[in-house]
Amino acid sequence: MKAIAFVDYENIWEGLHEYGYRLMPEEFIQLLEDYADHIGVDLKAVYLYANFDKEEFWRTQTAFEKRNIFTRHVYGKNNYVKTEVRANAADTELMLEVQEILVTRPKAAELFLLFTSDGDFLPIIRRIRAWGKEVRIIGVKDKINHLLIPYCESLDVFCNLLNKDYAKYMPVDDLSIGIELIAEMQMRLPYVASTRARSYLSIKLGRTASEVKDFIQYLLTENCLIEKELHDPNLVIKKTKIYLLNLVNPLVTKILGSNLTEQLAARYTRLSSEIVEK
The residue among 105, 134, 162 that closes a domain is: 162
Residues 175 and 154 in one domain: no
Amino acid symbol at 112: F
CATH code, domain carrying 88:
3.40.50.1010
Q: How many domains does the chain have?
A: 2
Range of the domain at 209: 171-276
Distance CA 247, CA 182 (A): 12
Per-residue pLDDT of the chain in tens (278 residues, 90 and over written 9): 999 999 999 999 988 887 777 788 988 998 899 899 989 999 999 999 999 888 778 789 999 999 999 999 987 644 444 445 455 678 899 999 999 999 999 999 999 999 999 999 999 999 999 999 999 999 988 889 999 999 998 778 887 666 655 557 789 999 999 999 999 999 988 888 888 898 899 889 988 777 888 899 999 999 999 988 877 767 666 778 889 999 999 999 999 999 999 999 998 888 766 555 55
Sort residue 132 into left (φ over 0), alpha (ψ -120 to 50) or beta: left
Predicted confidence at residue 163, as pLDDT, reads: 64
What values do phi and psi take at 168, rounded to 5?
A: -75, 135
CA distances from residue 223 to 202, 227, 229, 249 in whole angstroms, order as listed? 21, 10, 17, 7
Element (H, E) at 98: helix 89-104
- In this prediction the pTM is 0.61
Residues 258 and 233 in one domain: yes
What values do phi and psi take at 40, rounded to 5?
A: 70, 45
Residues 139 and 222 in one domain: no
Predicted confidence at residue 164, as pLDDT, reads: 58
